[in-house]
Amino acid sequence: MSALTLYNYELDENSYRVRLLLSMLGIEHEIYSVNMLPGREEKSPALLALNPCGTLPFIKQDDAVIFGAEAILAHLARNHDAAGKWLPIDGPDFSATMMWLGFCAGPLQAAIKAREVAVFAVGGHLERLKADARAAFRIMDDHMTLRQIEGHEWFAADYPTIADLALIPSFALSRDFNIDHEEFPALRLWLRRFRRLPGFITMPGIPDYH
């Protein structure tokens, strides 16, 4: 079996999600650095032949290509986590994990797009995206506040899952588009806990709370 290759742009939020899980699971891999900006290499014929969606990130191993951050996270957790914790298989933990992955692919997209507008100057209505992102963070903060009151520290289970890992970057990087983290105290505590997990790696824009 050939080495797993991640097609990656260093400042891309979704690429960071995959780098983070690769690190936390200790998966050996190679990185192909894509000239996303300004080159838009992900739209080139060579990369479109691998990922016809023209998006990042995607992974390739042997003849298999997987694109879409949530799909990649599920694939890696299913195939490389012997403990079966990052992607619970049975019961309410699985359902909750999938629900919050869906939230990441749905309401939380406003935060991803707001950062792209603010950092990369792509087209978009920043103030509207910020308002939608703040509303998504309010849902998350309310959920985590209730979880903490009930004695739980993580979004979907009594241990970190790929739901936490998928949700973390959008909040962590939201100061790039001027979201005040003081508005979301439960998420600040959650981010601090997550940073202490083995294998955590950071990227520019992620705060180191003290």
pLDDT category of residue 2 using cuts at 50, 70 and 90: confident
* pTM for the structure as a whole: 0.95
- For residue 208, the model assigns a pLDDT of 84
Domain(s) labelled CATH 3.40.30.10 in the chain stretch across 4-80
Given a cut of 70, is residue 115 above it in pLDDT?
yes
> What is the number of residues in the chain?
210
Q: What's the first-to-final CA gap in the chain, in angstroms?
A: 43
CA distances from 96 to 44, 82, 109 (A): 37, 20, 19
CATH 1.20.1050.10 fits 91-195, yes or no: yes
| Mean pLDDT, residues 23-30 taken together | 97
Given a cut of 50, is residue 210 above it in pLDDT?
no
| Mean pLDDT, residues 40-51 taken together | 97
The CATH classification of domain 4-80, taken from the options 3.40.30.10, 3.90.1530.10, 3.40.630.40, 3.40.50.150: 3.40.30.10
- For residue 209, the model assigns a pLDDT of 67
d(CA 193, CA 179): 20
Query: pLDDT averaged over the chain?
Result: 96
Domain(s) labelled CATH 1.20.1050.10 in the chain stretch across 91-195
d(CA 31, CA 79): 19
Q: pLDDT tens digits for 53-110? A: 999 999 999 999 999 999 999 999 999 999 999 999 889 999 999 999 999 999 999 9
Please give the residue that has the higher pLDDT: either 187 or 1: 187
Q: Is-contact 199 7, C-beta < 8 A?
A: no
